[in-house]
Chain A
Amino acid sequence: MARFVYADNAATTAPSPEVISAMSSVFETAWGNPSSQHSKGYEAKELVDGARAKIAKILGCSANEIYFTSCGTESDNWAIKGAAYRMRKKGRDHIVTTKIEHHAVLNTCAALEAEGFSVTYVGVDEQGRVLLDELREAVTERTALVSVMYANNEIGTLQPIDEVVRIAHEKGALAFTDAVQAIGNVEINVKELGVDMLALSGHKIHAPKGIGLLYVRKGLSITNLIDGGGQERRRRGGTENVAYIVALAKALEIATERIPELDRVRAMRDRLIEGLLAIPYSKLNGHPTERLAGNVNIGFECIEGESILMWLDMAGICASTGSACSSASLEPSHVLLAIGVPHEKAHGSIRLSLSHENTDEDVDYILETLPPIIERLRKMSPLWEEIERKERLTK
């Protein structure tokens, strides 16, 4: 293998050495239960409190507004179900979200629909930006919650969350954003943003999998999902995952310090996009500028994504695809369909997601490796044969 290029940072990231070292010391020494009334417990509790305070400072809120969870999916479930159950008591049984949310949000909404809630799935434009007029029309006095992701995981499109919050609050609805992909890519201050709840996850910012958090604005009470001991101020039971909480705080701290470095990631992204769009019959999915710093999502006509990924993988490049053939379902990516990419083209889309760990040499390597793969697969595609025939006819 010539080279190893990890370009799937939207799926997960490599835990950073600083995070691993912060975490290891907790495993080795501060393994106490933060609820215990002895020195070993106090030692652990101090670490959890310190991590919470550090995170609160970064997100611009107070420490008692941060609740640690097991992952982004749990945070999404808790925010949406917790708010829905609570608001139903006030006669609000309607949820507004978008067609391009992560499945953690979409399937949570579907579960609530089965319980009698109604859900409106607002559309997006061709670049993946939520249709604000449609959103404004969807939110009523019956709406409990408006849930819009900060940035899309597949096409990287950033949403105008401040505007979404304004629309929700005008009708007395709560505003929640799943910021799992956005965190570390944009500076987020929850107070300035005005959201009532925000979810994030550790493993997208070089912390381990298995740790997430939910910000819940002070004064807002949502129904518990996980009852248990009195952890997280009685709102989320379960002994605190001290090491991972420390890891999350460390990772968030580093990610925030690295925000200026995103200009370099953006430059790599744009060079990659430009280079790949030089391939005929290719198209960028998502917004050209309002997109995550490291997100590249391109559709190549007449070929299928999994085949591209397999060749890339053999060349040492890790990427991902919106094709149905890479998953257990037969439907291609709901996000690509929502932005109007036809089925057959959605199958040929791949996502390359960069982080600060990638280099210009990685971009060069992808740009020299990918075009011959596309060409090779097209040569054996009956659809490409048709395009070539049509081109011959027009000449």
Chain B
Amino acid sequence: MQYSEKVMDHFTNPRNVGEIEDASGVGVVGNAKCGDIMKIYLKIDENDIITDCKFKTFGCGAAIATSSMATELIKGHTVKEALELTNSVVVEALEGLPPVKVHCSVLAEEAVKNAIADYYNKIGRPIDFEVVSDEHEDED
């Protein structure tokens, strides 16, 4: 797969890889069977600002690059702003993705939304946005 320079940059030098021990919210999407899992950790302060954001991803070059870009795009922003992150914003920031890889950017968007939903659950705030899917473990 031929990727843009931006994708290669985020793949070879991914930003915000890791875990957050006492995360405010964690989101996991995808499954091993399909070949990609994204896990996003958020640290959110009392003003609803994402002060830190980390990720771990099992997947192809595009999956790693979209995770990295998504964390970079939401870090330092409010939760409300992070909820506005769409997959096309991620694709655009990466200067495009091959058509078969667009689903990776969708996963990144879903992972962020899942992590925020987890945060809402923890603080008892009703979830007023669509959470697409949780991690579905596959049996085999």
**Which residues of A does B touch, CB under 8 Å?**
302-307, 310-311, 314, 323-326, 328, 330, 332, 342-344, 347, 379-385
> Which of B12, B33, B35, B56 meets A325, CB within 8 Å?
B35
- B60 touching A382 by the CB < 8 A rule? no
Q: How far is the CA of A350 from the CA of B58 in the complex (A)?
A: 16
Closest residue of chain A to B35, judged by CB?
Answer: A347
B60 partner, pick from A306, A344, A379, A381, beta carbons under 8 A: A306
Interface centre among A323, A328, A347 (most CB of B within 10 A): A347
Q: Could you say which residues of chain A place their CB within 8 Å of the CB of B140?
A: 342-343
B55 smallest CB distance to A (angstroms): 8
Q: Check A304/B56 contact, CB under 8 A, given A330-B34, A343-B33.
A: no
Contact pick for B37, options A307, A332, A382, CB 8 Å? A382
Q: Which residues of A contact B33 (CB under 8 A)?
A: 342-344
Contacts of B35 in A (CB 8 A): 304, 323-325, 330, 332, 343-344, 347
Chain B residue nearest to A305 in the complex (CB): B60
Query: Which A residues are in CB contact (< 8 Å) with B1?
Result: 306, 326
Minimum Cβ distance to chain A for residue B67 (Å) = 9
Task: Report A-chain residues with C-beta under 8 Å of the C-beta of B37.
Answer: 381-383
List residues of chain B with CB within 8 A of the CB of A381.
Answer: 37, 56-58
19 further A-B contacts with Cβ under 8 Å, apart from A381-B56, A382-B28, are A304-B36, A304-B63, A307-B59, A307-B60, A311-B12, A323-B35, A323-B60, A324-B34, A325-B36, A325-B59, A326-B60, A330-B34, A342-B33, A343-B138, A344-B33, A344-B138, A347-B35, A379-B17, A380-B56
Given contacts A332-B35, A344-B32, is CB(A382)–CB(B57) below 8 Å?
A: yes
Kindly state whether residue B14 has any CB partner on chain A within 8 Å.
yes
Total number of B residues with any Cβ neighbor in A under 8 Å: 28
Q: How far is the CA of A13 from the CA of B76 in the complex (A)?
A: 51
- Scan residues 1-55 of chain B and give those whose CB is less than 8 A from a CB of chain A: 1, 11-12, 14, 17, 19, 28, 32-39, 55
30 contacts between A and B (CB under 8 A): A303-B58, A306-B1, A307-B11, A310-B61, A311-B12, A323-B35, A323-B60, A324-B35, A325-B59, A325-B62, A326-B1, A326-B60, A332-B35, A343-B32, A343-B140, A344-B32, A344-B33, A347-B32, A379-B17, A380-B17, A381-B37, A381-B58, A382-B28, A382-B37, A382-B39, A382-B58, A383-B32, A384-B58, A385-B19, A385-B56
Q: Cβ of B39: which chain A residues have Cβ within 8 Å of it? A: 382
Shortest Cβ distance from A234 into chain B, in angstroms? 43
How near does chain A come to B80, taking the closest CB pair, in angstroms?
27
The 4 A-B residue pairs with the shortest CB-CB distance in the complex, in nearest-first order: A344-B32, A325-B60, A306-B60, A347-B35
Query: Smallest CB–CB gap between A381 and chain B, Å?
Result: 4
The main secondary structure of chain A at its interface with chain B is helix
CA distance A381 to B61 in the complex (A): 13
A379 and B61 CA atoms in complex are apart in Å by 15
- The residues of B that contact A326 with a CB separation of less than 8 Å are 1, 60
Cα A314 to Cα B12 with chains together (Å)? 10
Cβ distance B113 to chain A, nearest Cβ, rounded Å: 17
Which residues of A have CB within 8 Å of B59? 304, 307, 325
Task: Find chain B residues with CB under 8 A from A384 CB.
Answer: 58
Contact A307 B64 (CB under 8 A): yes
B21 to chain A, nearest CB (A): 13
On chain B, the residues within 8 Å of A323 by CB distance are 35, 60
Q: Is the CB of A328 within 8 A of B60?
A: no
Closest Cβ neighbor of B58 among chain A residues: A381
Closest Cβ of chain A: how far from B23's Cβ, in Å? Answer: 13
Interface centre among A303, A310, A379, A385 (most CB of B within 10 A): A310
Beta-carbon contacts under 8 Å, B60-89 to A: 60-64
Shortest Cβ distance from A310 into B: residue: B61
What are the residues of chain B within 8 A of A305 when measuring CB–CB?
60
A331 to B28, CA, bound (A): 21
Question: Does residue B100 face the partner (Cβ distance < 8 Å to A)?
Answer: yes
Bound form: Cα–Cα A109–B19 in Å? 49
Chain A neighbourhood of B19, CB < 8 A: 385
Is the CB–CB distance between B58 and A304 below 8 Å? yes
Q: Is the CB of A304 within 8 A of B60?
A: yes
In the bound assembly, the distance between CA atoms of A347 and B140 in angstroms comes to 14
**Nearest B residue to A346 by beta-carbon distance?**
B35
Q: What residue of chain A has the Cβ atom nearest to residue B33's Cβ?
A: A343
Chain B residue nearest to A384 (CB atoms) is B58
Q: Which chain B residue lies CB-closest to A326?
A: B1
- B residues less than 8 Å from A380 (CB atoms): 14, 17, 55-57, 64
**Which residues of the partner chain A approach B64 to less than 8 Å between Cβ atoms?**
307, 380
- CB closest residue in chain A, given B18: A380
CA distance A303 to B36 in the complex (A): 9
- Measured between beta carbons, the chain B residues less than 8 angstroms from A328 are 100
Cα(A321)–Cα(B19), bound, Å: 29
- Inside 8 A of B34's CB, which chain A residues have their CB? 324, 330, 343
